[in-house]
Chain A
Amino acid sequence: MKLIEKMIRCSINGITLDVEAGTTILQAAKKVGVDVPTLCHLDLHDIGIANQSANCRVCLVEDEKRHQLVPACAEKVVEGMAVQTDSLKAVMARRTSLELLLSNHPQDCLTCIKNLDCELQTLAHDMNIKEIHYPGEKMNHPLDLTSKGISKDSNKCIMCRRCITMCDEVQTVGILSPLKRGFDVVVATAFHLDMDQTSCTYCGQCVSVCPTAALAEMNDTPKVWRALNHPEKHVVVQIAPAVRVALAEEFGFPPGEISTGKIVAALKRLRFDTVVDTNFGADLTVIEEAHELVDRMENGGRLPMLTSCCPAWVQFIEHQFPELLDVPSSCKSPQQMVGTLIKSYYAEKRAIDPKKIVSVSVMPCLAKKAEAARDEFHQNGLRDVDYVITTRELARMIKEAAIDFKTLQEQPFDELLSDSTGAAAIFGTTGGVLEAAARTAYEMMTGKELKEVDFTAIRGLEGVREATIPMGERSLRIGIAHELGNARKLLEAIRDGKSHFDLIEIMACPGGCIGGGGQPYHHGRLDVIKARQEALYRLDATLPKRKSHQNEEVIQLYDVFLEKPGSHKAHQLLHTTYSAKTRI
């Protein structure tokens, strides 16, 4: 039985309405179509979390009866409340709040990485700020550019604490905290350590929610331009599954637009020498991973096995659960597999000196930048992947080159390392890696053809999902988690011996890579992520081959280069190791 809540009657700008108890003025205003500016407030309703620090005061409205200004984002509606959002008092108070925030804020918008994508800037524009009446002392914090993934500029921090809410409550990593108090307060790492000295996973979810450029991706586009301009370098680029269903948003397309062909065309216009596909690496990963899984299941190996495609998640387990490093699969991620092959197989086939090759990837992800720089990932002194740029960075490069993305003629990938199946396409969503692996493991274990390839039961955006997939004599017990807080729950169960899974997929970001920290900003809107997810499943369904082991080019790669799945050479090139790190 559902309790019938007593409704509360209130009015917003003279419009009367009834709302449930606990409703904020902001929510009530939204119901009647009244807009109130906000800044620190962030309602990630869909992932069940809200940042309620209520400290920016740009949402002040007037409570008429009490003649008081109250923050609309935090103040709950009470019976008989009458709110004016546009009284002169409220408008002026909001302006003052914003001016105070701006008074010590750097004013280098022209060259700021968030220029035209900054919530503070937009608000200053919307609120008609043309002059700041409170000259404040500017902050003078050193920039932190130590990590490969994230740049941190505390001078641009407005203390909204969204990043802390994200890192503490959603990801449970706990990297950032307000240190000191009053005027000295700053959002910082423990002991002001450099970012690269902390246990930050570089998932970039704090970046996704930071309203300013206080937290942003490291900008690697200058390095890529330099490589492109180098007369002797042969620049090969790969693009990740999730990029093709998000990049077009930066050019005015609706979320969920599939623009693979246009992206390839744009990369060619940018004068990359060869465009290959991370999806090829995804198929390859599936084969190596399925092989490893079957091996572990048949020979009493460590179960569950955890997928290892997400470097933020790898970083998480190394720092937070160092006692469980025997559970992740030893497979490199698709990015790293393709990177390795670019400088070996591809170089050999094309007869190019690997030293002349620059390997670039376009990823939805900041953790991929850090992954590419891991100690483990090089051969003969050459990095598998030299530079990683995000979806957002590629969009910036395309704009910089004044390429008209909308009218670009679609182009196919170049020939090598580019064949892929539907199984690879869905790597970009939570549940996708596991579904892909299941399609191949099924046929490996049963020797029979899998007729129904759509494992719809394990799809969706539920934080933790589980299922049992019958596989001939035995069955495969699988678990799926996205967001690191959910991953923590599964890991604790494994640690305490309470997990009964064979295979677990974990992705750090909400929705998986489609919600990655390097994707076009979704501003907490789950419908954007859903649209990207649907696009990936659409892509999968339209491809003629939907199982990784049907990938012709992968089969050929084993024939001529890697011998067979799990071979010595495959291990050398496609697998990696993990090491325990200190949790900070």
Chain B
Amino acid sequence: MKNKILDISSLDRALLDQLDTYIKNLEGDNEENLIHVLHRAQALFGHLPHNLQLYVARALNLSGAKVNGVVTFYSFFNEEPTGKYVVSVCMGTACFVKGADKVLQKILDIIGTKKNEMSADGLFTVKDVRCIGACGLAPVVTINDKVYGKVQVNDVETLIGRYKGGQSA
């Protein structure tokens, strides 16, 4: 194979088998099923590396570009491994005008990482996301499935501190 990065031999065969079974039982149009399959794949593998995306493309007879387009369109898909806690900062209009960008920067500073990259200790991945529909609580931050509203720059230290030990608060 020309593209080493797309070689699937690094993927866990047992997990791929589970994915295959899932795909086999799907009905209907492959293109419409794509998002479900990607969700499933991410649930199994934790994230969606390029070789896994291409595997899905082949399994559904879609082009790699199509699959990669969908994966990069939705912020809930991760191409890179994510930390134990995924911190999503809403950058929708309501949150933005209430200073979400400053909150985001503060979170990145405290954790000491870059956007969309897993922190060195493997605990955090910080992302910016589109409006999550809780505008009344702007600015909104979610950590895994917990939602925190009206987050101010000054709150960030305590908020992140609660997760820093590695056990969720």
Contact = CB atoms under 8 A, between A and B. Distances in A.
Interface stretch (B16-24, B59-67, B81-89): B59-67
Interface stretch (B50-58, B102-110, B118-126): B50-58
B-side interface mostly = helix
A584 B64 contact: yes
Interface in A146-178: 168, 173-178
A180 interface: yes
A175 to B, nearest CB: 6
A181 interface: yes
A163 to B, nearest CB: 11
Contact of B63 (A173, A180, A181): A173
Contacts of A581: 2
A175 B63 contact: yes
Given A190-B54, A191-B50, A584-B54, A177 B3 contact: no
B2 A179 contact: no
A175 B65 contact: yes
Contacts of A191: 5-6, 50, 53, 64, 68
B1 A582 contact: yes
B95 to A, nearest CB: 15
Contacts of A197: 2-3
A517 B66 CA distance: 23
B72 A180 contact: yes
Given A190-B54, A191-B53, A178 B69 contact: yes
Contact of B68 (A173, A177, A181, A582): A177
B31 to A, nearest CB: 11
B99 to A, nearest CB: 20
A173 B54 CA distance: 15
B167 to A, nearest CB: 34
A180 B73 contact: yes
A390 interface: no
A177 B65 CA distance: 5
A492 to B, nearest CB: 11
Nearest to B62: A174
A179 B53 CA distance: 14
Contacts of A176: 65
A197 B5 CA distance: 11
Interface residues of B, number: 20
Contacts of B62: 174
A325 B148 CA distance: 58
Contacts of B66: 168, 174, 177
A459 interface: no
Nearest to B67: A190
A190 B79 CA distance: 13
A144 to B, nearest CB: 14
B53 to A, nearest CB: 7
Contact of A174 (B5, B65, B72): B65
B65 A582 contact: no
A192 to B, nearest CB: 8
A584 B3 contact: yes
A190 B2 contact: no
Contacts of A179: 68-69, 72-73
A82 B41 CA distance: 51
B65 A189 contact: yes
A88 interface: no
A193 interface: yes
B37 to A, nearest CB: 16
A193 B3 contact: yes
A538 interface: no
Contacts of A181: 72-73
A174 B64 CA distance: 8
Q: Which of B2, B6, B54, B72 gathers most chain A CB within 10 Å?
A: B72
A423 B68 CA distance: 45
Contacts of B6: 191, 582, 584
Interface in A7-63: none
A179 B62 CA distance: 16
A378 interface: no
A186 to B, nearest CB: 10
Contacts of A198: 64
A582 B3 contact: yes
A277 B65 CA distance: 39
A179 B63 CA distance: 13
A296 interface: no
A583 to B, nearest CB: 7
Nearest to A173: B63
Interface string B3-46: 10110000000000000000000000000000000000000000
A582 B72 contact: no
Nearest to A583: B58
A181 B72 CA distance: 8
A329 B53 CA distance: 34
A411 to B, nearest CB: 45
Contacts of B73: 178-181
A582 B53 CA distance: 14
B151 to A, nearest CB: 22
Nearest to A181: B73
A499 B57 CA distance: 27
B112 to A, nearest CB: 24
- Ranked nearest first, the 3 interchain pairs of A and B with the lowest CB-CB distance are A174-B63, A190-B64, A177-B69
Given A174-B64, A190-B63, 15 more contacts: A168-B63, A168-B66, A177-B69, A178-B69, A189-B65, A190-B54, A190-B64, A190-B65, A190-B67, A191-B6, A191-B50, A191-B53, A198-B64, A581-B2, A584-B63
Interface of B: 1-3, 5-6, 50, 53-54, 57-58, 62-69, 72-73
7 contacts: A173-B63, A174-B62, A177-B69, A190-B67, A583-B58, A584-B6, A584-B54
